[in-house]
Amino acid sequence: MIIVLIGVLLAIFLLPNLWAKWVLKRHARPRDDYPGTGAELAEHLLRRLGIDGVKVELTDQGDHYDPDARRVRLSREHYAGRSLTAVTVAAHEVGHAIQHHHGYAPLLARSRLVAVAQQAEKLGALLMMAAPFLFILTRLPGGMLIVLLAAVISFGTAALVHLVTLPVEFDASFQRALPLLKEYLPPGDMPGARHVLTACAFTYVAASLASLLNLGRWLVILRR
């Protein structure tokens, strides 16, 4: 029974990320019939839409849009790649730039939450490690419970941010990027583009589940 439960939990936590990676890899084959790379499409779209001041950069920190620096950052395979995955991921990140350009409120809220969550997660890790020592030093009734509750809340903010992020990601994919891609991609490539865009969003589902798994791991350690 325990083995089955462990297997189910592993499937819940790992499958979204594995599926997303499989989809991105499946459509990463170079396409000689595409006129440009992911970076070139991103730059073209920004110019065409009149989004001034946003630059496209190469990064090793994963594909993302930085609203503070106003940068569309693409990994090497998507920046220089000429594949369905490369151009679709590039369009997705431009979708975030479009959101920012139009003052899309959920994106702005997410940016604020991310900064809070990063600090909260660090605080949560510190509290988790310090909880037994604080309890010994203070010996206050309920002291351990208070510290653990604070740590759980801190770690939980990371999962919350990822969940709040999902509507932002789906909007960037299906309301911003997909209509643009329909103008550039052959009709036969559109189902694949939809799969890639869905995979881009589901990476955040995997990240949210990973945050919950991390919280559970710390709780198990503290119970020992």
Integer-rounded Cα Rg, in Å, for the chain is 21
Cβ atoms < 10 Å from Cβ of 16:
21
Angle at 185 between CA 73 and CA 177, to 5 degrees: 45
- Can you give the pLDDT at residue 126? 72
Active site residue 93: yes
Integer Cα distance of 79 and 37 in angstroms: 7
Selecting among 40, 43, 93, 169, the annotated active-site residue is 93
Weakest mean pLDDT among 33-37, 129-133, 177-181? 129-133
Predicted TM-score (pTM) above 0.85: no
pLDDT at 86 (0 to 100): 98
- List all residues 6 or more positions away from 204 whose beta carbon is below 8 Å from its beta carbon: 162, 165, 166, 169
pLDDT at 66: 95
Compute the average pLDDT of residues 193-218.
76
Average pLDDT, the chain: 83
57-102 tens-digit pLDDT = 999 999 999 999 999 999 999 999 999 999 999 999 999 999 999 9
pLDDT at 13: 65
For 64, the enclosing helix (H) or strand (E) is strand 64-66
Which pair of tokens denotes residue 102? 């139009």
